[in-house]
Structure 1
Amino acid sequence: MSQLLSTSLGPVRLIGENATPIWGMPNAERNRRMAESAAKNGRRLANGHELLFNLTYAFDPLLLTLALEAPGTLFTWGEAPIVGQVAQGADPLRAPHIIDLSDGRRLYNRQLRKLEQPMVRELTPASRREIERRSYFGAYKGVTDLLTKYLWPELALVLTRIAAQLRMTPNMVSVIGVSLCLLATFLFAKGLYWTGFLSGFIFMVLDTVDGKLARCTITSSKWGNVIDHGVDLVHPPFWWYFWGTGLAYWGLQLPGTTFAFVMTAVVAGYVLQRLIEGMFLKDFKMDIHVWRRFDSQFRLITARRNPNMVILFVALLFGRPDIGLVALAWWTIISLIVHAVRLAQAYGQARSGRPIVSWMDEAEGQA
């Protein structure tokens, strides 16, 4: 059985039937959303081609991205077609580029900065929760900080499932998170660090949930991305500043010159590190943290919000939030130096005629 849909992307053919829902929606609706989302991102089908989805299976959205990049490509699992951009009306298994994923091959996901075997599973009532789990973890960036990678994925999975069941949109989650972010800023300014930490912790978890909810339910939006990434980019220096002013309530305020040094280090260091990352992305068309394995490992602890909060948390356990802020400043300086050195090394390598290639691209080529 097959059904032909008209979408903004172009003709979409659904083959098979499946009544098992995934993330609170029929598989056909999820596939339709993926097609519409691709169209919003400027994708189009090649002339004379249609997009094919097999409703029997759930799969990693990366496969759709790759199929849209190469007309005539069909991903299969053994003899079963999964997803592909194939000639209209033709037998999909006669597509010129058939890639059988049952051989366990790994593919590099540039958007999420990871190299892994993409998920392909038959969607049944028995496999639904495991598929949702795998699609959730599949939406995680492979290169990120240690808290996002190791501490709260399971908690965020529970919250993502609850949000999906409640039919919450990612923007709803973002609004709750932003409110908690502002509350944490106020509490830090008043020296209420533990309460501020609780508010900030929930915000940081929700900062993961909104993105995962958007990817799993295919409900991302332009303004949602602007709000999410805009808040992520802007708020950390305000947290560190008001953490510093809140020290007065503990009788631990820093001397004027020390406070000025700390604020200069954390703000200028943060901005300069972001600029270095932007320069690397602009000149080498990749994130600096996926160049070499060292860069990916250093991303776990580099001076971003989450690792910095670990520093402040440890200092707070010992009753010295002032020392925590000074340590945060020095860690920001060290992280800035590391990034500056790596950028200089990349430019030097490029000038010598050697290409700048991600270690993940190299690993994919060797697979």
Structure 2
Amino acid sequence: MLMVDVISVGANPTSIWGMTNRERTRRISRTILAPSAKPGTEGLILANDDYIVDPLLLAYAQEQPPMLLVRDGIPILAKLADPAQREPVETAMRGEPMPADLSIQRVAIDDRFTLYNRGLRKRVHPTVMRLDPSTVRAVERETYFGAYKGVTDLLTKYLWPEWALVLTRIAASLGMPPNLVTAIGLANCIAATLCFWFGSYWLGMAFALVFMVLDTVDGKLARCTITSTKAGSRFDHRIDLIHPPFWWAAWVYGLISWNLALSRPVLTLTLTALVLGYVVDRLIERGFIKRHGFHVHVWHRLDSDFRLIGARRNPNMVILFVAMLFSRPDIGIVAVATWTMLSLAFHAVRLAQAELRRSKGVEIRSWLS
């Protein structure tokens, strides 16, 4: 049961991402606020139904003492402990003047108001926008990009956000659950693996491209429609975690079809670097999180910048694409193996540096926190 009751004030008929704002607020309260509720956060939250607010802002309000979050003089969210304050706050949310003697802290949501989103690894200005038929497209765009990770690879960050926005809108309008998008992506992932195995690299990269874009869409769809689940997140994460070594191994085998099979010593080194290097690199990332409580990619600005090009699936596919332009898939996969080991070395050094600083009593903090 929620320790904080969330009540929408007003009746806005405008839909966003296939649902009314009231339904969106209900989903946030059940799927985001309820699991994170802590003792001492009891009370009542009033949400102005005329405004779309960031789920992060609702979670922030839940943890605060009684307060009003105000935008341009209009109450957007109110965390109340005294039931007697409910009526005047509701009246103010409907456009009436707020009583001057209302004894409650007021916090302005302006350009200086920021929160750290740990899940998306970025500091943000929480979305607060008026919702009406004329603003739906702008609100959807704002909430979509608000659901984007701040630290990710260069393709996800720069190449296909607009493609994925169109597909996310289509999926939401069709009422597609995020897990269905993930399943379609998985089918393309398997098809890409088979194509690589038989040396059909261009066709395989086409399937891989669909999968990689859908890998962005499913997460954005879940966040924008407030339908994220632990099971769905695990499903998506395990696919992301498991498939890259299979792609690289299939690519190596496919070289036989091109009469470019690697010699035995080069084959052994390449596969070892691709598979073992990938596994150890992910273990280092997990170890950093366990030791310091946040991802290595958000430790310093350097780490966030390196995440753009580090040897993960998408940057590796760029290397292979360039190699295919010259019809040298063999050089491409050896280059991926080499880059994997260099990325591993970078993260190993960063982990060692963090441990050294910690041993000297230096606090290890994310530059985004």
Gaps of 5+ in 1: 1-6, 362-367
Cα displacement (A) at 1:245: 0.1
SS at match of 2:116: strand
User: Given the alignment, which residue of 237, 257, 260 partners 1:252?
Assistant: 260
1:13 alignment partner in structure 2: 7
Instruction: Determine the structure 2 residue equivalent to 1:68.
Output: 62
Q: Match of 1:78?
A: 72
Aligned CA-pair RMSD: 1.7
Shifted more, 91-100 versus 333-342: the winner is: 91-100
Which amino acid in 2 is paired with 1:251? N
Give TM-score scaled by structure 1 length. 0.92
Give the direction of change, closer, same or farther, for the CA distance of 1:90–1:81 in structure 2 (3 Å limit): farther
Q: Give the match for residue 83 of structure 2.
A: 89
TM-score, normalised with respect to structure 2: 0.92
Corresponding residue of 1:263: 271
Correspondences of 1:145-224 after superposition (within 5 Å): 145-224=153-232
Query: Is the alpha carbon distance of 1:80 and 1:327 closer, same or farther for their aligned partners in structure 2, counting shifts above 3 Å?
Result: same
Where in structure 2 are the equivalents of 1:1-367 lying within 5 Å?
Answer: 8=2, 10-39=4-33, 41-43=35-37, 46=40, 48-91=42-85, 97-361=105-369
Following superposition, the deviation at residue 248 of structure 1 comes to 0.4
Shift of 1:182: 0.5
- Cα 1:159–1:88, aligned 2, differ >3 Å: closer, same or farther? farther
Q: Distance in 1 between matches of 2:106 and 2:11?
A: 23
Shift in Å, 1:197: 0.4
Mapped contact 1:64–1:84 kept (Cα < 8 A): no
CA distance in 2, matches of 1:306, 1:90: 55
Distance 1:8 1:320, change over 3 A: same
Q: Give the Cα–Cα distance (whole angstroms) in 1 for the partners of residues 77 and 232 of structure 2.
A: 28
8 Å Cα contact 1:10/1:45 also seen in 2: no
Letter in 2 for 1:305: R
Contact 1:10 1:44 (8 Å CA) reproduced: no
Q: Mean Cα displacement is larger for which, 180-189 or 16-25?
A: 16-25
Percent identity, aligned pairs only, is 52
- 1:61-116: per-residue Cα shift (whole Å, max 9, x none)? 11112222334354221322223432152435857553211244332211111122
* 8 Å Cα contact 2:147/2:220 also seen in 1: yes
Q: Kindly tell me: are residues 90 and 47 of structure 1, through their superposed partners in 2, closer, same or farther at Cα, counting changes over 3 Å? A: farther
1:3 matched to which residue of 2?
none
Q: Could you tell me how far apart the structure 1 residues matched to 2:138 and 2:316 are?
A: 33
> Is the 1:9–1:38 contact (alpha carbons within 8 Å) kept by the matching residues of 2?
no
Query: Tell me, which stretches of 5 or more residues in structure 2 are unaligned?
Result: 90-97
Q: 1:241 to 1:56 in 2, by over 3 A?
A: same
**Kept after mapping to 2: 8 A contact 1:45/1:71:** no
Shift of 1:8: 4.7
Offset of residue 223 of structure 1: 1.6
Deviations 1:323-342 (Å, cap 9, x if unpaired)? 00000001001000100111
CA contact (8 A) 2:41 2:64 kept: no
